Amino acid sequence: MTLPPKLKAPRLSLLAVCLAIIPLPPMQADAQQESFSAYLQIVAVHARTQGVSEAAIAGVLGGLTPNQRVIELDTAQPGSQNTPPALAPYIAQHVDGSIVGRGRARHAGLSSILPQIERRYGVPAPMLFAIWGHETNFGSYTGDFDLARSLATLAWEGRRRALFEGELIALMKMVDRGIPRAQLKGSWAGAFGYPQFLPSVYLRLAADGDGDAKSDIFANPADTIASIANYFRDAGWRPGQPWGVRAALPSGFDVPAYATKLSAPSCGRVHARHSQWKTVSEWRSLGVSPLAPIASDVLASLFQPDGPGTPAYLLTGNYRVILQYNCSNYYAMSVGLLADEIAR
Ligand SMILES: [Ca+2]
């Protein structure tokens, strides 16, 4: 998802991590001065101008009340920490033998269609299963918040009104496309289905993986895998490049000496932890040795998340694609490493 939120209720991951790094404006006092029902009338007007049917507007907005729990979850987002927590414990917890085993089993179960999905989208299948596994444990939890109520509450709350109102209207467009209103359940932050797409992402990128002309990311593994692949292709995945590789550093190598001088337009605190870009051959000439195959002309940044003496990685542009799905180094590193394990 290009935009932050992909949160689900039980786990504090996706949107939570993202929002932790995006400085939020303070709660707008005036945003909630209008009543919830008055605000929904405004949303209805905006939806009409975008061609949403009256039936979908009424179906989505009818009878909604604000969800206090959503506001509590949103305002309880962790603040920015000066020192990011160590990566290794997170990886140990999120890339264990059990999720690797489930990922390999899911991969094997879809093996007949994976070659064509890899050809069509150019993304290696293990990466797609790693995303699916991290998002919803392969569909075992997708959230049971009413999406309309969550999105309307977040929009009304006002801190990111443009984002969430757009998603609420996209939800109405899903109803106009024939998705039953009752099926619109997901995370408190508005993401849903096996890959935890936001409504706008669903409208743009949900894909059909099994050839039945439906793009069902609520219950169909093949469609889920194709949809994640479509997301990755759309986000600029470069076929044939790894997301990153482990790298050996010379003793005493001064990683901070190569700190980036760029500041990323969004999600800056995540990107600021990666070094300057250099080609793999330039890194080699500095003594940095990739420990897995990667072409010499590929641009990569160096990342040693837990400091001197701990694992270091050369990250390619494809790592940034994982970050677009969810802008967190913890998320992206665990997805990349899980994909490597599933592929092994
Ligand atoms: Ca399908």
- How far apart are the CA of 203 and the centre of ligand 1, in A? 15
Active site residues: 135
The least confident of 17-21, 146-150, 176-180, 276-280 is 17-21
- How far apart are the CA of 194 and the centre of ligand 1, in A? 13
pLDDT of residue 79: 63
The least confident of 8-22, 62-76, 262-276 is 8-22
Given a contact cutoff of 8 angstroms between Cβ atoms, the answer to whether 326 and 6 are in contact is yes
The least confident of 22-26, 48-52, 176-180, 221-225 is 22-26
pLDDT of residue 6: 41
pLDDT in tens, 78-107: 666 678 899 999 999 999 999 999 999 999
pLDDT in tens, 285-294: 999 999 999 9
Q: Is the pLDDT of residue 60 over 60?
A: yes
pLDDT of residue 147: 98
- How far apart are the CA of 223 and the centre of ligand 1, in A? 5
pLDDT of residue 31: 54
